[in-house]
A and B are shown apart, each in its own frame.
Chain A
Amino acid sequence: MSLSRREFIGIGSAAAAGMALAPGLRLIDLAQARSPDEAVTSLQRWGLLIDINKCHDCDACVTACHEENGVHGHGRPTTDAQWIRKVTLKDQQTGHVQTLPLMCQHCEEPPCVDVCPTGASFKRADGIVLVDKHICIGCRYCMMACPYKARSFVHEDTTDQKPHAPRGKGTVESCTLCVHRVDAGKIPACVEACNKDGNKAMVFGDLKDRSSDISQQLAAGPSTQLRPDLNLNTGVRYRGI
Chain B
Amino acid sequence: MAQAHFDTMEGRGWGFYFLLAILGGFIVAAGLAALYMEHNGHWVTGMSNQIVWGTPHVFAVFLIVAASGALNVASIASVFGRQLYKPLARLSGLLAIALLAGGLIVLVLDLGRPDRLIEAMLYYNFKSIFAWNIFLYIGFFAVVVVYLWMMMERRMNDFTKPAGVFAFLWRLTLTTGTGSIFGFLVARDAYDTAVIAPMFIIMSFSYGLAIFMIVLLAAMRWTERELGDVVFGRLRNLLGVFVAAVLYFVVVYHLTNLYITQRHGIEGFILLHGGVYTQMFWIGQIILGSVIPLVILFSRLGKSRTLVGLAALLVILGGLAQMYVTIIGGQAYPMPLVPGKDASSSFFDGVVASYVPSLPEAMLGIGGIALALALVVVALKILPFLPHSLSDADADPHFKSAA
Closest B residue to A148 by beta carbon equals B337
Q: Which of A134, A149, A153 has the most CB of B within 10 A?
A: A149
State whether B112 touches A157 (Cβ < 8 A): no
State whether B53 touches A144 (Cβ < 8 A): yes
Judged by a CB distance under 8 angstroms, whether B123 is at the interface is: yes
Which chain A residues (23-41) contact chain B, with CB distance < 8 Å?
A: none
Contact with B along A103-119 (1 / 0, CB 8 A): 00000000101111111
Closest B residue to A151 by beta carbon equals B49
Which chain B residues (310-349) contact chain A, with CB distance < 8 Å?
A: 331, 335-338, 340-349
Give complex CA distance A146, B348 in Å. 15
Judged by a CB distance under 8 angstroms, whether B22 is at the interface is: no
Contact with B along A150-163 (1 / 0, CB 8 A): 01111111000000
State whether B113 touches A138 (Cβ < 8 A): yes
Which chain B residues (133-191) contact chain A, with CB distance < 8 Å?
A: 134, 181, 184-188
State whether A114 touches B128 (Cβ < 8 A): yes
A227 to chain B, nearest CB (A): 7
Give complex CA distance A138, B335 in Å. 22
Give complex CA distance A180, B342 in Å. 35
Contact residues of A: prevailing secondary structure: loop
Judged by a CB distance under 8 angstroms, whether B42 is at the interface is: yes
Judged by a CB distance under 8 angstroms, whether A42 is at the interface is: no
Interface pick from A13-21, A82-90, A190-198, A212-220: A82-90
Pick from B111, B125, B187, B345: contact of A88, CB under 8 Å:
B345
State whether A146 touches B349 (Cβ < 8 A): no
Contact status of A102 and B186, CB under 8 A, knowing A79-B43, A118-B123: no
State whether A87 touches B337 (Cβ < 8 A): yes
Judged by a CB distance under 8 angstroms, whether A181 is at the interface is: no
Pick from A88, A115, A119: contact of B123, CB under 8 Å:
A119
State whether B43 touches A117 (Cβ < 8 A): no
State whether B111 touches A85 (Cβ < 8 A): no
Q: Which of A90, A113, A136, A170 has the most CB of B within 10 A?
A: A170
B121 to chain A, nearest CB (A): 9
Give complex CA distance A154, B185 in Å. 22
Closest A residue to B349 by beta carbon equals A87
Closest B residue to A59 by beta carbon equals B346
Pick from B41, B53, B116, B129: contact of A154, CB under 8 Å:
B41
Give complex CA distance A143, B185 in Å. 10
A149 to chain B, nearest CB (A): 6
What is the size, in residues, of chain A's interface with B at 8 Å between Cβ atoms?
59
Judged by a CB distance under 8 angstroms, whether B306 is at the interface is: no
Contact status of A144 and B188, CB under 8 A, knowing A87-B343, A87-B344, A88-B345: yes
Pick from B41, B134, B187: contact of A155, CB under 8 Å:
B41
Pick from B38, B120, B186: contact of A137, CB under 8 Å:
B120
Give complex CA distance A144, B38 in Å. 21
A14 to chain B, nearest CB (A): 58
Within 8 Å CB of B42, what residues of A? Answer: 79, 153, 155-156, 170
State whether A155 touches B43 (Cβ < 8 A): yes
Within 8 Å CB of A140, what residues of B? Answer: 52-53, 112
Contact residues of B: prevailing secondary structure: loop
State whether B337 touches A89 (Cβ < 8 A): yes
Pick from A91, A111, A170: contact of B341, CB under 8 Å:
A91
A74 to chain B, nearest CB (A): 7
State whether A170 touches B111 (Cβ < 8 A): yes
State whether A117 touches B348 (Cβ < 8 A): no
Give complex CA distance A157, B119 in Å. 22
State whether B116 touches A135 (Cβ < 8 A): yes
Contact status of A78 and B50, CB under 8 A, knowing A118-B124, A136-B113: yes
Give complex CA distance A154, B120 in Å. 19
Judged by a CB distance under 8 angstroms, whether B269 is at the interface is: no
Closest A residue to B340 by beta carbon equals A92
Contact status of A170 and B113, CB under 8 A, knowing A87-B337, A140-B53, A149-B349: yes
Q: Which residues of A contact B (CB under 8 A)?
A: 74, 76-82, 85-93, 98, 102, 111, 113-120, 134-141, 143-149, 151-157, 168-172, 226-227, 230, 241
Apart from A85-B345, A149-B49: 12 A-B pairs, beta carbons within 8 A = A82-B347, A86-B345, A87-B344, A114-B128, A135-B116, A137-B111, A141-B181, A146-B187, A149-B349, A153-B42, A153-B52, A230-B186
Cβ contacts A to B, 19 pairs, < 8 Å: A78-B50, A78-B348, A88-B345, A89-B337, A89-B342, A90-B344, A102-B345, A114-B128, A117-B125, A118-B119, A119-B123, A136-B113, A140-B112, A143-B49, A149-B347, A169-B41, A170-B38, A170-B41, A227-B337
Q: Which residues of B contact A (CB under 8 A)?
A: 38, 40-43, 48-50, 52-53, 111-114, 116-117, 119-120, 123-125, 127-131, 134, 181, 184-188, 331, 335-338, 340-349, 353-354
Closest 4 CB pairs of A and B: A138-B112, A170-B112, A117-B130, A156-B41
